[in-house]
Amino acid sequence: MKNTLLANLAQYPLSDFFLRRCVETMSDKQVTDDLAEKPDFSLLFHFDNPYQMGRLEELFAKAMETFRLSKEELKAQAEFNFDVYDIESFESARAVFRLANALSEAGFTQFAILKGKGLADFRAMNNGQRWFVEVKTLILQTKPKKFDVNGTTETLDVDKFQPKSCSTEEYVEKISRRIAGNLIEKARQQLLETVKREGEARKMVGLVVNLFAIDFFLDAEHLSDVHARLRGKFTDWEKNYLADVDTLAFLTGQLYLL
């Protein structure tokens, strides 16, 4: 099995460079367990899928361009150790690359990865203003759910955090509580620590939905509702979780700056 995976990986030069050592050192159990995961939370599942691997190649290539680094420099500077299997940390590293690439396309420049415990992920410039950006990943995993569609029962994949009612309003509330419960405060503290050590800058928290689950998340209107809750501008939401944060970015299939 591992030989087949490595043969598939070898068809994609950048993915092969970043991931080969990781796959080579994975145990048989790690390989089996990873392939048993849902496709949206597996490292190996997509190796034989040209479309998905093409996207991964583009991600690495664009990240090299965004940070103005060679592949060797990018691998060395990233917080994640690409040579060790850790799917959650890999998703986090991929999220940093994805958000930086999206901000680059939105006009941000002069990206640099920040090194140091407790610091934001990277800095960038926009219209002469320095920004510090901390990225957090929203890991979505899908599950099958039965729906009655015009009298016919259909089974569709939904986010596992979708409430039983399938109410979008309840889903927005649940996602907002999840973000407020852990992600935002940690990101906020990292941004404040970065300003303390590196000097003044505008501060951005980026929330990135894992790459292979972006089609299951909220649209612009409902992301604005999440933002209103986190700013304390919604019924029963009195705390401003984004105090001291200038911008909240959501990256799903596209970039939203709120």
Mean pLDDT per 10-residue section of the chain, whose length is 258 residues: 94 97 95 85 90 94 98 91 90 94 98 94 97 91 65 68 74 88 90 97 94 68 93 93 96 92
Under DSSP, the state recorded for 37 is S
Tell me what pLDDT residue 185 has: 92
Q: Is the pTM of this model over 0.85?
A: yes
32-36-42 Cα angle (round to 5)? 95
Tell me what pLDDT residue 141 has: 66
Q: Contact, 202 vs 208, CB < 8 A? A: no
The C-alpha atoms of residue 113 and residue 27 are separated, in whole angstroms, by 31
| Torsion over CA: 34, 36, 41, 44 (sign) | positive
Tell me what pLDDT residue 217 has: 67
**Count of C-beta atoms within a 10 Å radius of residue 81:** 14
3-state secondary structure of 153: strand
- E-state strands within the chain: 109-113, 122-126, 129-138, 142-149, 152-159, 202-209, 247-251, 255-257
Report the relative pairing of strands 247-251 and 202-209 from DSSP bridges. Answer: parallel
Output b/e per residue, 38-58; b: 16+ Cβ within 10 A: eebbbbbbbbeeeeebeebbe
**Count of C-beta atoms within a 10 Å radius of residue 221:** 9
Tell me what pLDDT residue 91 has: 87
Tell me what pLDDT residue 4 has: 95
Nearest in space to 73 (alpha carbons), one of 15, 18, 6: 18
Structural tokens at position 74 = 């990018």
Q: Please name the helix (run of DSSP H) or strand (run of DSSP E) that holds residue 4, with its range, or none.
A: helix 2-9
* Helix (H) and strand (E) counts in the chain: 9, 8
- 241 by Cβ neighbours in 10 Å (0-12 / 13-18 / 19+) ranks as buried
